[in-house]
Amino acid sequence: MARLSCILLLSLHVSLLLLTPSSGQVGGSCSSARDCGTGLYCGDCAATGRTRPSCIRDLAIQPTSIVKGLPFNRYSWLVTHNSFSIVGEPSRTGVERVTFYNQEDTVTNQLRNGARGLMLDMYDFGGDVWLCHSLQGQCYNFTAFEPAIDTLQEVESFLSENPTEIVTIFIEDYVHSPMGLSKLFTAANLMKYWYPILEMPTNGKDWPSVTDMVAKNHRLLVFTSDASKEASEGIAYQWSYLLENESGDPGTVPGSCPNRKESQPLNARSASLLLQNYFPSIPVQNEACKENSVGLPQMVQTCYAAAGNRIPNYIAVNFYMRSDGGGVFDVQDRINGLTLCGCNTISACQAGAPTSACKNTGAPNRTSSSTSSSVDGNTYSGTVEFKFPASRASSTSIWSNIVVSLSLLLIVKSY
């Protein structure tokens, strides 16, 4: 009897260990970043009730590092909203800045941590092109951040140091100086990476493979909100090539995913890229962890349905590292895993393996109706259902009439 009791106690102890996040893993307790593994930091999320510090993701898995050679529009990428609007950024005008902030680290760090899209607001200011978080199409000394070339030089350094990576820049464009943007990108030495507008696919056709884009060094996609720049400067007008939902508060209403007024309806097939915005109009740092952990996964499901069962190629958020564990990184991983290899996370995909040949990562790979799952010791609830029409089938992805439920990111486990 005593021996049986010991065995039962040991079994219970092992079970508890399996159910509890260990130090160094996502959700594991920590007192500093040293207690967390690679790609994690130590933080909390009071907005969801998690007040004890735990390990939180701050690094994306690049899907092209696992599933290679597919068309660019088959992948999903992280975008930082107002990438330049950084908390604590010193004034460059000598006047105290009065504006909203959307990010917390440098553009270089954003790129190193896995962001592959940057949203930049560009204005004429002081005889140059500046990044401003401003209003009414006018940059002021109290809304200005820095000359745009400074940020673009960070992009150039990243592309130079990472010769297989592709970056997209979305410009909210208030530049009216003649050839202002062309001169800017030339001065930043970025034209050698430029994706030429004449090669951009139209009418919803697939983009070239990421392999081809890298081979041609077409690794910088630039889109402008000013339609006239396409003819005058050869810069792609954003809504000729992308579909986009509403930004700000209209894009965060549960159960609703309207298209931005400049965009075609999300279920249109006239463009082959889809940008999903998910951030409130007024950014609040301490609320971002809840937005990126709870609201974002729900809205992915809503917008997926609104887009006619189509994944977002770009996911734009505020304070991208803030979450209750995995945040936007887990959303991106799960979308890429499901669409690229039929697994519930990109980390379960195996290079060169058949669809749905998934590695065991601790997460269920093919679930149809589960309401919760355990990933890296964290409990997630809620499902996102994706339906892939037969027209999306390819040699690496056969989706005819498949319905897959994807457990996403609503972390409910407490300590």
Instruction: Give the pLDDT mean for 93-99.
Output: 96
For residue range 6-46, list pLDDT tens digits in order: 443 333 333 333 334 445 799 999 999 999 999 999 999 99
- Across the range 208-237, mean pLDDT stands at 98
Residue 268 token pair: 């249109």
Q: What confidence score (pLDDT) does residue 353 get? A: 87
CA dist list (Å): 261 to 35, 247, 267, 285, 333: 46, 10, 14, 28, 29
By DSSP bridging, strand 77-80 and strand 50-57 are unpaired
Cα separation, 29 vs 26, whole angstroms = 9
Give the model's pLDDT for residue 394: 33
Per-residue pLDDT for 387 more than 50?
A: no
Residue 273: its pLDDT value, please? 98
Distance of alpha carbon 344 from alpha carbon 356, whole angstroms: 9
Whole-number pLDDT of residue 68: 93
15-21, long-range: CB < 8 A, 24+ apart: 18/377, 19/374, 19/377, 20/377, 21/54, 21/55, 21/376, 21/377, 21/378, 21/413
Binned at pLDDT 50, 70 and 90, residue 361 comes out as confident
Domains of the chain: 22-57 (no CATH), 58-362 (3.20.20.190)
* pLDDT of amino acid 19: 38
Q: How many CB atoms lie within 10 A of CB 9?
A: 10
**Mean predicted lDDT score pLDDT of the chain:** 85
Rounded-to-integer distance, Cα 77 and Cα 116, Å: 6
- For residue 363, what pLDDT is reported? 53
* Beta carbons of 122 and 305 less than 8 angstroms apart: no
Q: Read off the tokens for 58.
A: 């701050």
Q: How far apart are CA 377 and CA 259, in angstroms?
A: 37
Question: Above 90 in pLDDT, residue 155?
Answer: yes
Q: What's the CA gap between 86 and 72, in Å, rounded?
A: 29
Name, in order, each residue with C-beta under 8 angstroms of 355's C-beta and a sequence gap of 6 or more.
Answer: 341, 342, 396, 397, 398
Give the model's confidence band at 137: pLDDT under 50 very low, under 70 low, under 90 confident, else very high: very high
Q: Which one is predicted more confidently, 2 or 187?
A: 187
Sequence-ordered strand ranges (E) for 179-279 = 220-224, 236-237, 242-244, 273-277
**Range 224-233 average pLDDT:** 97
Q: In this predicted structure, what is the pLDDT of residue 366?
A: 39
pLDDT digits (tens, 9 = 90+) for 124-136: 999 999 999 998 8
Q: State yes or no: pLDDT of 143 exceeds 80.
A: yes
CA-derived radius of gyration, the chain: 22
Instruction: Render pLDDT for 277-315 as a digit per residue (tens, 0 to 9).
Output: 999 999 999 999 999 999 999 999 999 999 999 999 999
